Amino acid sequence: MLYNAACFYSTLNEIDQAIEYLKAAIEKGYEFYEYIKRDPDLEPIRNEAEYKAIMKGH
């Protein structure tokens, strides 16, 4: 659900909310980084520094 919330807020262009939910999802064990990289719902946050930091090394 946390990952879905990240996608939802991303599509609404609620960048801060989307990143917070993405971080929470990963902290709770959602580690499908290849899917995260390609999920079109997350396109609005891909250029954000925090998104890049989350994805660094994955």
Interval 6-54: pLDDT, tens = 999 999 999 999 999 999 999 999 999 999 999 999 999 999 999 999 9
This prediction has a pTM of: 0.94
Describe the crossing of helices 15-27 and 2-11 by its angle, rounded to 10 degrees.
160
In total, how many domains does the chain have?
1
**What is the phi/psi pair of residue 14, to 5°?**
-90, 80
Q: How many residues does the chain have?
A: 58
Q: What is the per-residue pLDDT for 3?
A: 98
Q: What is the per-residue pLDDT for 10?
A: 98
Structural domain range at position 30: 2-55
Neighbours of 32 (CB within 10 A): 14
Q: What is the per-residue pLDDT for 49?
A: 97
